[in-house]
């Protein structure tokens, strides 16, 4: 079980049309991490992007919607990440692989675990903290989806902003592989909530997440905010 403290994050960017043999490459990679007993992996599908060809692909254009980028994100100990790299290199032809340091704040399961008023937000700039919360789309909190409850709480706490990503495939601590199929109902795929704000603001969020997230993972990283803009509402 991944414990609180320093860890490594492995991020792989590929195209959803990439294959290894006759199998989608992202499924091959998930299998690799599963066999290596990695604590969990999530596959996120982009809605727009371009690569070395310079051609823009977007989910808005049906004829190009099958050639969008995928981001595969894995968080575990440095030892486990390092041991999985030879297998990863063997199956990836084109793509981008990056490894970065991260800090696990909470990695909880049902078996192991069980309102702060906001103030006017100041423009975010310079040194900041990036918080990633990964839960299941089936998780709930007081009758509503957990990810929605978390976002609502972040709004109440005057956090600068958050983005919710729904995974295409993945598995968690129970090692049950879940995959999104066309026209299938919601299941147990991972949901990632991405948050960036000042250290003081993020530190206020952490105790709230400790109460709300009974099964999932919460990680914290240092970031530099280059530009922060928003629409006037």
Q: Which residue has the tokens 């980028």?
A: 69
pTM of the model: 0.61
User: Mean of the pLDDT values across residues 223-231?
Assistant: 72
For the record, the structure tokens of 31 come out as 């299998």
* Residues 15, 44, 64, 50, CA torsion sign: negative
Q: CA-CA distance, 68 to 55, in Å (whole number)?
A: 11
Q: Which domains does the chain have, with CATH numbers?
A: 5-225 (3.30.70.120)
- Copy the structure tokens of residue 198: 């000042």
With H, G, I as helix, E, B as strand and everything else as coil, classify residue 205: helix
The model's confidence at residue 226, banded by pLDDT at 50, 70 and 90, is confident
Between CA 135 and CA 120 the distance in angstroms is 29
pLDDT in tens, 127-166: 889 999 998 888 999 888 999 999 999 988 888 888 898 8
How far apart are the C-alpha atoms of 4 and 12, rounded to whole Å? 23
Is residue 193 within 8 A of residue 56, CB to CB? The reply is: no
* Three-point CA angle 218, 41, 171, nearest 5°: 100
Average pLDDT over residues 40-57: 66
Question: Nearest to residue 225, comparing CAs of 170, 174, 160, 172?
Answer: 160
50-104 pLDDT per residue, tens:
555 555 555 544 444 456 788 899 999 999 999 999 999 999 988 889 999 998 8
């Amino acid at each position: 079980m991944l414990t609180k403290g320093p860890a490594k994050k492995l991020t792989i960017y590929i195209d959803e049309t990439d294959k290894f043999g006759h199998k989608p490459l992202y499924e091959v990679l998930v299998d690799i991490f599963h066999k290596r007993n990695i604590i969990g992996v999530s596959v996120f599908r982009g809605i727009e992007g371009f690569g070395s060809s310079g051609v823009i692909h977007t989910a808005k254009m049906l004829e190009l919607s099958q050639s969008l980028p995928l981001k595969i994100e894995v968080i575990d100990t440095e030892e486990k990440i390092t041991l999985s790299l030879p297998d990863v290199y063997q199956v990836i032809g084109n793509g981008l692989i990056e490894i970065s340091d991260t800090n696990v704040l909470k990695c909880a399961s049902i078996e192991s675990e069980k309102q702060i008023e906001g103030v006017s937000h100041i423009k975010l700039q310079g040194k900041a903290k990036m918080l990633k919360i990964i839960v299941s789309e089936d998780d709930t909190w007081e009758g509503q989806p957990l990810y929605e409850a978390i976002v609502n709480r972040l709004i109440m706490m005057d956090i600068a902003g958050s983005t919710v990503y729904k995974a295409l495939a993945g598995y968690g601590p129970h090692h049950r592989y879940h995959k999104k199929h066309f026209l299938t109902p919601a299941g147990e795929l991972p949901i990632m909530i991405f948050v960036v704000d000042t250290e003081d603001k993020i530190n206020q969020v952490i105790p709230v997440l400790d109460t709300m997230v009974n099964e999932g993972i919460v990680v914290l990283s240092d970031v530099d905010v280059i530009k922060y803009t928003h629409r006037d509402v």
